[in-house]
Structure 1
Amino acid sequence: MWLQAKESLSVQQTLVIDQERRNRFILGVLFTMVIAGTGTWVGALPGINRIGAMLSAILIAVIYRNVLGYPESIREGIQFSARFLMRFAIVLYGFKLNIDMVLHKGGMLLVYDTMIIIIAITATMLLAKLFKADLNLSLLLGIGTGVCGAAAIAAVSPILKANDEDTAIGAGIIALIGTIFALTYTFLMPFLPISALEYGIWSGMSLHEIAHVAAASMPAGQDVMAMGLLSKLGRVFLLIPLSIVLSLWMKRKGEGEGKQSAPFPWFLAGFMLTSLVGTYLPIPDVVLNDISKVSSFLLAAAMVGLGLNVHLSSLRNRALRPLGAMIIASIVVSAVSFFTLLWFGL
């Protein structure tokens, strides 16, 4: 009887511990979503809306971590948001990509976009070596600059086995610098020796995020913004072959160094599937807009989870040189894409 009572008590204690663990897990996920919601609200305020919800959420998370510390009791839920919600957000992000439009209307743009991605990554890495910067963070920034900003960084981070801090720093830098570039483009627009449509294409070829392209090209009109987004979608489309190349490179690198090879990024297969669904199935625009909002919110929640790992001292010590390399590379991308359009057109 005594042994049975002891075993019964042990089972009850285990159930209580498991329930407490589940509760902390749920609280961790909700914690990231609350901050993401706060960042979304702050990012919509006049003036602050230029930096957007994602950067606002990351900044709130970084401030929380460095003022109040990391909430250890709910770490498991936060880590779930940082990793699994991020992958799910990337899958949903695929609905934004119209593959048919890219392939049939943006053939030459794809050639230019490929060139831009190669230049962005190469220039960032060469400058990073010159500046003796952190190469892992610099590679993330080069990919974000060349492809589609924070979404690209989130997509390739698991492939490159980047740590959470690098991913968060990279996403924050991309969002901030991309916003500055978008504002600069808007200011320069009336003085540029190119047509309005060429300005839209230039924005799509060189700016970091889809939101940055929309913000920079919208003042020139809906047609200009449409061309800018088409150009940008070509770079988003190229995230798929780039990720495959990076996966193969990591696998070969792992084998060469006797380490575990990189797993296949199955969430990118989901990204491709949702791209096909969004392109070829008659989904109402209102549904696609809702999916886009959910994707952006989940990505912001994931970035909160990552931002909670950022030490400001580490940011100061490790990020300044990669930041310098990324800014110069962004200027190179902007200049090359501009003069390519000016001299050769489409």
Structure 2
Amino acid sequence: MRMNDSFNKILLWIGGVLFTFLIALIGYGLAFIPGFNRLGQMSCAIILAIAYRQIFGYPRQIQAGIQFSSKVLLRLAIVLYGLKLNIGLVLSQGLGLLLQDAIIIMSVIIVMMLLAKRLKAETSLSLLLAIGTGVCGAAAIAAASPILKSKDEDTALGVGIIALVGTIFAIIYTVVRPFLPISPLHYGIWSGVSLHELAHVVLAAAPAGQDPLAIALLAKLGRVFLLIPLCFILMFWMNKNQMSVSATSKSKISFPWFLIGFIIMSIIGSYILGVYIPVSPTFNATMTQLTTFTLTMAMTGLGLNVNLHDALTKAFRPLLAMTFTSILLSIATYFFNY
């Protein structure tokens, strides 16, 4: 009898993982359709997951598999994301941009949280959006949320909002670019230091040419690089806050071991693959697709936790604060790099 129970649990766990895989796959397919391609597969999958939750409710029978996707696969995706970071390129050619990126990240988080306080926005979601806006979008939110002990609902909302707003900003950049009195190179830097995700940077900078795109990605990779120290700062801050809340409390934030994996994969991608081990463009493209799809499965699991009515009430003010912050970031970095 116990064996049958264990077997059923395994089947339900597999069912949960496959369920997130199926929704992620549908989201991947939708991303090829004009209009939906602006959102990307991750946003499409989150929208589908949230819609499913509102119509059919949360599928509790397969909860274990869904939680595996939203927690374990989330950390795996962050580890794989490390391959996108070329440490050598950032350190050798982008030290000036790295300093600018550090100032931008600190400024964005401070301004965003001040606006959130002013607007009386929900603090947890606002902080996730501030980190996503300042660093590298969904990947930054996914990396920071376990350290901040954010609710799954807040993480999913943060990723959905950052993808939507970032896409809108990237499209606006491409529209206004021909009318701006700025060189293609400076336009690339501006895109890299101000837009939310790597995909948004590519969307905005690619029409300007290969050189602007290259410098845009370099500027953006500097912000990705700074995700590592930021996460350790957040961990220290969370531990300090917990200790100050209660002198008798001994609970601490668990060490984010997935960040070690992120660093290791960054080192492998920067100094081993392509240097000592030949890799083809096909391999790089495949790893990028695998990383994005793994993160999409994780976000699908998180999206199933979203109660849309509560989310809309909670998200409006953080969204407002993030929009104002993003506008200020675009204006400030434009004139700074002009």
Please give the TM-score of this superposition, normalised by the length of structure 1: 0.94
Q: Which position in structure 1 is the counterpart of 2:256?
A: 265
Query: Equivalent residues in 2 for 1:145-164 (5 A)?
Result: 145-164=133-152
Cα distance in 1 for partners of 2:113, 2:64 equals 34
Query: Equivalent residues in 2 for 1:70-109 (5 A)?
Result: 70-109=58-97
Contact 1:92 1:295 in 2 (8 A): yes
2:69 maps to amino acid? S
2:77 maps to amino acid? A
1:295 aligns with 2:291: yes
Deviation at 1:46, TM superposition (A): 1.7
Q: Which position in structure 2 is the counterpart of 1:119?
A: 107
1:219 aligns with 2:244: no
2:260 maps to amino acid? A
Cα distance in 1 for partners of 2:36, 2:150 equals 29
Cα distance in 2 for partners of 1:286, 1:103 equals 26
Q: 2:54 aligns with which of 57, 60, 66?
A: 66
Cα distance in 2 for partners of 1:64, 1:164 equals 16
1:331 aligns with 2:327: yes
CA offset digits 1:213-247 (Å, max 9, x no partner): 00001111111111111110000000000001001
Q: Which position in structure 1 is the counterpart of 2:269?
A: 278
Cα distance in 1 for partners of 2:151, 2:35 equals 32
3-state SS in 2 of match to 1:120: helix
Deviation at 1:88, TM superposition (A): 0.1
Q: Which position in structure 2 is the counterpart of 1:4?
A: none
1:57 aligns with 2:45: yes
Q: Which position in structure 1 is the counterpart of 2:20?
A: 32
Q: Which position in structure 1 is the counterpart of 2:244?
A: 256
1:192 aligns with 2:202: no
Deviation at 1:341, TM superposition (A): 0.5
Cα distance in 2 for partners of 1:336, 1:269 equals 34
Contact 1:58 1:172 in 2 (8 A): yes
Deviation at 1:292, TM superposition (A): 1.1
3-state SS in 2 of match to 1:319: helix
Cα distance in 2 for partners of 1:120, 1:340 equals 15
Cα distance in 1 for partners of 2:93, 2:22 equals 41
1:267 maps to amino acid? F
Contact 1:253 1:261 in 2 (8 A): no
Q: Which position in structure 2 is the counterpart of 1:6?
A: none
Cα distance in 2 for partners of 1:115, 1:44 equals 36
1:315 aligns with 2:311: yes
Cα distance in 2 for partners of 1:319, 1:138 equals 9
Cα distance in 2 for partners of 1:69, 1:183 equals 34
Deviation at 1:47, TM superposition (A): 2.1
1:270 maps to amino acid? G
CA offset digits 1:92-114 (Å, max 9, x no partner): 00000000000011011001111
Q: Which position in structure 2 is the counterpart of 1:143?
A: 131
2:309 maps to amino acid? S
2:335 maps to amino acid? F
Deviation at 1:275, TM superposition (A): 0.3
Cα distance in 1 for partners of 2:32, 2:79 equals 25
Aligned residue pairs, count? 330
Cα distance in 2 for partners of 1:56, 1:50 equals 10
Deviation at 1:200, TM superposition (A): 0.7
Please give the TM-score of this superposition, normalised by the length of structure 2: 0.96
Q: Which position in structure 2 is the counterpart of 1:5?
A: none
Cα distance in 2 for partners of 1:115, 1:336 equals 12
Deviation at 1:330, TM superposition (A): 0.6
1:247 maps to amino acid? M
Cα distance in 2 for partners of 1:46, 1:232 equals 26
Q: 1:16 aligns with which of 4, 7, 10?
A: 4
CA offset digits 1:143-168 (Å, max 9, x no partner): 00000001000000000000100000
Deviation at 1:286, TM superposition (A): 2.3
Deviation at 1:54, TM superposition (A): 0.5
Cα RMSD, aligned residues only = 0.8
